[in-house]
């Protein structure tokens, strides 16, 4: 179950779905509402959209039949909503709509014989699996891709009926247990995987000295730290390094980023591509020299774009945020910098520009780590094991 599925950032979920099916698990797709089809350029978008059950708007007749046939469960669900102490009273009224969606979900689960719901990144719709369970629906687990506080409030209620919780990185385990200690340790860390058989080094990099093609794949929002990379690019250019920089993604801050590119006189060096398909991103990663992600704040978990770059044997310059310190060994298979530290990003770029051999060694080590830790088949196996353990 994924909110507003499919979108461009959902490629990682599609990989998990594919891996689970490869291992014999029958997977159905559930989402909150149908997104704008222009928000996903991946090849799977049409198939995913056509085979996803959307709980909003709910199918009223099946949903109301579920509620009418289980008055005790409906009362318990209403008590659940009333008990959301961290949620503003007006927003609790919205949860009444979520109750109808949960009833729709239960009707769909009964029809398709679903016995486990895997909820991805619960936010506004995060109460729906819990309400469905209260009404007599299937077991569920919840995955937090970033710090738990990013996903709203009342997590203790959301997790009260969950079998277990999944976090992206070990650093987030304590946060989930703090919010819902009754899970009694049933919090597991599972990477979202990458297809390391597809994301490979194609041998297309020139390893030219003092010349770099840098890439960032990330939404155009403040939290991804694009402005700090742009400042670093300007500083590196002023030092004499020849840098081309490509930013892949879309988002509400595009105009701000364009203004910063203009202010720093980077129009001839920086290219904004908008959203690209998975194959287009792969082609870019296999040609470029270095990957940069300068995220700030707490919303980041284990960035999938970083794992893809590492799998393609790219050296990565990454801010210390979320679980990047768990993913990257500084100086071994990537380079870590402080948040907002554009000078450190620039120094790393200059160092890599002048040392093609270091770029190659870091990239080869990154590839080895990606294969060992980040393959999506291994991630699927761990999820299946957790579901079997916490039934």
In the block, tokens 């979920």 appear at 13
Give the containing element (helix H, strand E) for 364. Answer: helix 356-373
**pLDDT per residue as tens digits for the range 310-358:** 999 999 999 999 899 999 999 999 999 999 999 999 999 999 999 999 9
The secondary structure of residue 145, as a DSSP letter, is S
* SS3 at position 308: helix
* SS3 at position 332: coil
Instruction: Band the pLDDT of 31: cuts 50, 70, 90.
Output: very high
Taking each helix axis from N to C end, the angle separating 342-354 and 356-373, rounded to the nearest 10 degrees, works out to 110
- 271 - beta bridge partners? 246
Domain limits, the chain: 8-193+376-389, 211-373
Question: Which stretches within the chain are classed as H helix?
Answer: 11-22, 45-50, 60-69, 71-82, 89-112, 128-134, 155-160, 173-179, 226-238, 254-263, 278-287, 304-311, 324-327, 342-354, 356-373, 376-389
Output the CA–CA distances (angstroms, integers) from residue 215 to 155, 279, 327, in the order listed.
36, 15, 19
Tell whether omega for the bond before 6 is within 30 degrees of 0, i.e. cis. yes
How much is the pTM? 0.88
Instruction: Tell the CATH superfamily of the 8-193+376-389 domain.
Output: Glycogen Phosphorylase B; (3.40.50.2000)
Mean pLDDT of 83-110: 93
**pLDDT per residue as tens digits for the range 227-277:** 999 999 999 999 999 999 999 999 999 999 999 999 999 999 999 999 898
In the block, tokens 């591509």 appear at 273
CATH of 211-373, one of 3.40.50.300, 3.40.50.12160, 3.40.50.2000, 3.30.2130.10: 3.40.50.2000
In the block, tokens 């390391």 appear at 196
Burial category of 182 from C-beta neighbours within 10 Å (exposed 0-12, middle 13-18, buried 19 and up): exposed
Tokens read off for 21: 């099916």
Examine the pLDDT at 37 and tell me if it is beyond 90: no
Taking each helix axis from N to C end, the angle separating 60-69 and 89-112, rounded to the nearest 10 degrees, works out to 100
In the block, tokens 């794992």 appear at 307
Mean pLDDT, the chain, integer:
93
Residue pair 161/134 in contact (Cβ under 8 Å)? The answer is yes
**pLDDT per residue as tens digits for the range 117-161:** 999 988 888 899 999 999 999 999 999 988 888 888 999 999 999
Q: Return d(Cα 352, Cα 358) in angstroms, integer.
A: 7
Give the containing element (helix H, strand E) for 243. Answer: strand 242-248
Domains 8-193+376-389 and 211-373 are alike in CATH topology: yes
Tell whether omega for the bond before 121 is within 30 degrees of 0, i.e. cis. no
Backbone angles phi, psi at 139, to 5 degrees: -60, 160
């Amino acid at each position: 179950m994924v909110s507003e599925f499919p979108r461009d950032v959902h490629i990682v979920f599609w990989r998990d779905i594919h891996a689970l099916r490869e291992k014999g698990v029958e997977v159905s797709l559930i989402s909150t509402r149908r997104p704008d089809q222009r928000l996903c350029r991946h090849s799977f978008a049409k198939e995913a959209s056509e085979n996803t059950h959307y709980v909003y708007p709910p199918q009223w007749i099946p949903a109301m039949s579920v509620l009418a046939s289980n008055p005790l469960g409906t009362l318990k669900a209403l008590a659940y909503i009333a008990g959301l102490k961290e949620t503003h009273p007006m927003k609790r009224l919205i949860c009444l709509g979520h109750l109808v969606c949960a009833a729709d979900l239960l009707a769909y689960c009964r029809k398709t014989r679903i016995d486990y719901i895997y909820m991805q990144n619960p936010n506004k719709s995060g109460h729906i699996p819990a309400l469905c369970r209260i009404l007599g629906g299937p077991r569920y687990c919840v995955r937090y891709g970033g710090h738990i506080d990013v996903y709203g409030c009342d997590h203790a209620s959301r997790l009260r009926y969950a079998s277990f919780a999944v976090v992206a990185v070990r650093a987030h385990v304590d946060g989930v247990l703090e919010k819902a200690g009754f899970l009694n340790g049933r919090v597991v860390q599972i990477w979202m995987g990458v297809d390391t058989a597809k994301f490979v080094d194609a041998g297309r990099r020139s390893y030219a000295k003092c010349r770099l093609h840098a890439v960032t794949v990330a939404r155009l929002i403040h939290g991804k730290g694009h402005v700090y990379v742009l400042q670093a690019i300007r500083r590196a250019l002023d030092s004499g390094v020849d840098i081309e920089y490509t930013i892949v993604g879309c988002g509400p801050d595009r105009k701000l980023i364009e203004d910063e590119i203009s202010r720093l006189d980077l129009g001839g060096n920086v290219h904004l591509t908008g959203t690209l398909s998975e194959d287009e991103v792969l082609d870019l990663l296999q040609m470029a020299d270095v990957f940069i992600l300068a995220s700030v704040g707490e919303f980041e978990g284990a960035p999938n774009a970083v794992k893809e770059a590492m799998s393609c044997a790219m050296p990565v310059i990454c801010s210390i945020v979320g679980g990047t310190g768990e993913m990257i060994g500084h100086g071994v298979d990537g380079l870590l910098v402080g948040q907002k530290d554009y000078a450190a990003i620039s120094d790393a770029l200059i160092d890599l520009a002048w040392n093609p051999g270091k770029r190659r060694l870091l990239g080869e080590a990154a590839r080895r780590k990606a294969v060992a830790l980040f393959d999506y088949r291994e991630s699927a196996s761990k999820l299946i094991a957790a579901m079997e353990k916490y039934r």
